[in-house]
Amino acid sequence: MKKGTVYEGTIERVDFPNKGIVYIPEEDRYVTVKNGIPGQKVRFVINKFKKGNAEGRLLEVLEKSPLETRGPVCSIFPACGGCMYQTMPYEEQVKMKEGQIRRIMDEAVEGEYVFEGVKSSPKEFGYRNKMEFSFGDEYKDGPLSLGLHKKGSTYDVLTAADCRLVHEDMNRILVCVLEYFRERNVSYYKKMQHVGYLRHLLLRRGDTTGEILVNLVTTTQEEHDLQPLVKALLELELEGRIVGILHILNDSLSDVVKSDETRVLYGQDFFYEKLLGLEFKITPFSFFQPNTKGAEVLYETVREYIGDIHGMTVFDLFSGTGTISQVLAPVAREVVGVEIVKEAVEAAKENAARNGISNCKFIAGDVFEVLDGLEEKPDVIVLDPPRDGIHPKALPKILSYGVERIVYISCKMTSLARDLEMMQIAGYRVEKMTAVDQFCETVHIECIALMSRVKN
């Protein structure tokens, strides 16, 4: 088997994340081909070998999968890489993700454990309360576009005017902003040359409150009067209500959405969202689960997994805006949240006060460093780390507390599998595990594992 050779085959299954497995009889070996659906007959070219495994790049879908029983729901499928599985019925997506988790976790977990299946999202479409759209063009020197990157490209941007992952309000705002800048022939920021003005449109919308925060991210390379845009946005017919329009200035060379300076063009720099009867104030960059209704299922599961914490101290590590802390606080003696993003910690403190919760303490800093200075000792620990899991220096420190129960929430199952290795060596075992599909139509899923200490 050589690079550049073209083959045809059927995708037998899809492993996490998005790795189609194709058997090639004439070579008697398997090849990984991304961006496919189980059952599709595909044509692909071998483009690399990794640790002895062959990887192919998808060239063409020759035959649809028997699982593809519905048509695309938006105009930029399949060129956009966002919603990989929208042509599959939702039940089949859930089944596929369940198989992916079992294949990884059955290998990573020592001994017997209970797998409780995948809990579906209450909403299949229109569930995202946050979306980052990019400015660019669909092809070199084409007209201005605003939306999502083309699959496999860091440059070409497809206009996502009818994205089904978000509420219709967000699509209307996107079209309004795009038309405004197109009419004025305003430039977008070119990442390689570091020139241009428009960078991103960050939209956040409370699923339960309908409050919308519009964040336009640009460089400081040009000056434009944005008041006519504010007027146009406020005149839109929306189901929800725009509570703030912000101009975020970002001159960093890397393609990240961040703020060097934030100017409020209208209203306020935050919005409110409700979750499990609690109210949360959310700022442009503070972390909040992107699927509000799915997050309720997730946090109810965490509450169930953590069990009776009456009179106990809970450490909520990587606590974001303190949602989990506040969900657990009513039944705990004290909850200590640790989060590296200062803005999120300030929001967490304010949210706790707003919800009348006085037994939560939030600390800004790196978990690895903060734990050294804490006098409190936890009885139970909740972990909700970023996608890459827990830093290998921080994990031994967390495990050294020797708590009886740990609940680990993971948005990347391979990171959880890696961290389980050290946790099991340290004397913990996985009792049970489940998952909540917070990211319908996509490759992602949120896993929850309950671990108990079996030996010192």
Residues annotated as catalytic (active site), given as ranges: 411
For strands 144-149 and 130-137, give the pairing: antiparallel
Phi/psi for 145 (5° steps) reads: -125, 160
Query: Across the chain, which distance is largest between two alpha carbons, in Å?
Result: 67
- Kindly state the tokens that stand for 101: 């988790």
Is there a cis peptide before residue 17, judged by omega within 30 degrees of 0? yes
What are the beta bridge partners of residue 381? 315, 406
Q: Which of 270, 222, 221 is nearest to 244 (CA)?
A: 270
SS3 293: helix
Q: How many other CB atoms are there within 10 angstroms of residue 360's CB atom? A: 24
Is 363 in contact with 315 (CB distance < 8 Å)? no
Q: How many other CB atoms are there within 10 angstroms of residue 151's CB atom? A: 18
Q: Which of 291, 394, 379 is nearest to 335 (CA)?
A: 379
- Strands of the sheet containing 405-410, edge to edge, are 114-119, 428-436, 446-453, 405-410, 380-383, 313-317, 334-339, 360-364
- How far apart, in whole angstroms, are the C-alpha atoms of residue 195 and residue 301? 47
Q: Which of 70, 63, 126, 62 is nearest to 93 (CA)?
A: 70
Collect all residues with Cβ–Cβ distance below 8 Å to 343 and sequence separation of at least 6. 283, 285, 286
- Kindly state the tokens that stand for 389: 């899991």
Is there a cis peptide before residue 72, judged by omega within 30 degrees of 0? no
